[in-house]
Amino acid sequence: MNYAPPPAARDLRVDLFRGVALICMFWDHLPGNPLGYATLRNFGLSDAAELFVFLAGYGAMLAYGRRYEREGFFPAAVHVLRRAWILYVAHVFLLAQLMVVVFVANDNVETRDFIAEMGLRYFLDQPQEALLAGILMQFKPVLMDPLPLYVVLMTLMAGLLPLLVRRPLWVLLPSGLLWLLEKQTGLNLPAAPEGVWFFNPLAWQFLFFIGACCARPRSLLRMRPLERRIGRNIMMPAALAFLAASLLLSLSWRWPEIHDALMPQSIATLIYPISKTDLDLLRVAHFLVLAWVATTLLRPGAWLHSAPASALRCMGRHSLEVFCVSVLLAPLADAAGAVAGDHPAIQVAAGLAGVLLMWTLAAWLDVVRRPQRSPAPYHRADGEYVGAVAAPIRKGG
């Protein structure tokens, strides 16, 4: 296949939303911190985990789909597996570093048992088994679940890359069937000591591959501009109504008496439990509707270059490094709040300081890696941002 690929494209919103997910995950893991009320999990049925996994698939397709078209399957698959290996190494090293941080915090805070809260008691009770389980990605203390999931998903992607680029439905349909099968059977991978993975890869792979398919420049359902406008006019009110209902439902959980009084038992039986481990249908539906509304209303523009947006994009560009440091900062920020008697002002200050350190690391990496950064985004004739696989797929598929 002969073509001259254009400069790599980058929709700046991808990095921005990834930065939002990183901050939300960090604040979500600070127990009792007032900043936790500002995260995505408080405004609907999905949270930052769905956003992070979806963007992982989206970003992986942008990065490796074009490489597949340019270099072929084997070189592209090697690069995907290399990324999976980097994620695995990061998991092993982060596990060791997290244990050190938690043990130090536990020794200096008398009012809390961080070892038990972080799920590290298993390591003290059975160190040999815990070390082996950690290497096998079966031992995952609190905060450590996303990386092993990411390793598994990237490894799967290495073999499915040709189909994702050429025949995405051949991946998406079996992926959806596997997700439904998991719902019926409860299949999961073994973990220690809790027994199963908190993020079940057999379920979460579906959202990852949805993200990968969305990174293609051609929609799976081809519609003319007029049809798209009509569809938006019909779907937007319904989408907003669904998001509003999801918001009210999530808010009602804060007042169980009111929730139980207003929620019909038949509906409660139908929708509960809204499992995160098994990626419940309502979580998927809420996230996809929210993502569609957000990308429809938040169009690319000058606002992406404002100072707050630039800071979020900077963190999103270096998501692996920022995520790893956030895992280490979370118990430290929690310990700082506990030492101060869980005073809200100290908790908020610790949470904001953690975000500042995350941004500082990302900004430093930006400077160090500046020569390797991609050129500026380019556009199609209709003004839409395109993915990095756009031109190769248009010519070859």
Q: What is the pLDDT of residue 9?
A: 52
Q: Is the separation of the CB atoms in 51 and 287 below 8 Å?
A: yes
Q: Distance between CA 15 and CA 314 in Å, rounded? A: 7
User: Residue 29: phi, psi to the nearest 5?
Assistant: -100, 20
User: Residue 385: phi, psi to the nearest 5?
Assistant: -70, 145
Q: What is the pLDDT of residue 227?
A: 57
In tens digits, what is the pLDDT along the chain, a chain of 397 residues? 433 344 445 689 999 999 999 999 999 999 999 999 999 999 999 999 999 999 999 999 999 998 998 999 999 999 999 999 999 999 999 999 999 999 999 998 888 899 998 989 999 999 999 999 999 999 988 889 999 999 999 999 999 999 999 999 999 999 999 999 999 999 999 998 878 999 999 999 999 999 999 987 666 666 566 656 766 778 899 999 999 999 999 999 999 998 988 899 999 999 999 999 999 999 999 999 999 999 999 999 999 999 999 999 999 999 999 999 999 999 999 999 998 888 999 999 999 999 999 999 999 999 998 765 444 444 443 344 444 343 333 333 4
> What Å distances lie between residue 188 and 138, 172, 191, 199, CA to CA?
12, 20, 9, 9
How far does CA 73 lie from the centroid of its chain?
A: 26
Name the 3-class secondary structure at 196.
Answer: strand
Q: What is the pLDDT of residue 222?
A: 62
pTM given for the model:
0.88
Q: Is the separation of the CB atoms in 327 and 94 below 8 Å?
A: yes
Q: What is the pLDDT of residue 224?
A: 63
Query: What 8-state DSSP symbol labels residue 305?
Result: G
Q: What is the pLDDT of residue 111?
A: 86
Q: Distance between CA 147 and CA 143 in Å, rounded? A: 9
Q: Give strand pairing partners of 385.
A: 379
Q: What is the pLDDT of residue 72?
A: 92
What's the burial of 87, exposed, middle or buried (CB within 10 Å: 0-12/13-18/19+)?
Answer: buried
Q: What is the pLDDT of residue 217?
A: 62
Name the helix (H) or strand (E) containing 191.
Answer: strand 190-191
Q: Tokens at residue 209, please?
A: 């591959």
Beta-carbon-side half-sphere exposure of residue 377 (alpha carbons within 13 Å): 18
User: Residue 192: phi, psi to the nearest 5?
Assistant: -125, 140
Q: What is the pLDDT of residue 395?
A: 37
Q: Distance between CA 41 and CA 234 in Å, rounded? A: 27
What's the burial of 81, exposed, middle or buried (CB within 10 Å: 0-12/13-18/19+)?
Answer: middle
Q: Is the separation of the CB atoms in 199 and 150 below 8 Å?
A: no
CB atoms within 10 A of CB 32: 11
Query: CA torsion sign, 392 to 387 to 280 to 235?
Result: negative
Q: What is the pLDDT of residue 46?
A: 96
Q: Distance between CA 119 and CA 327 in Å, rounded? A: 14
What's the burial of 318, exposed, middle or buried (CB within 10 Å: 0-12/13-18/19+)?
Answer: buried
Bond before 168 cis per omega within 30 degrees = no
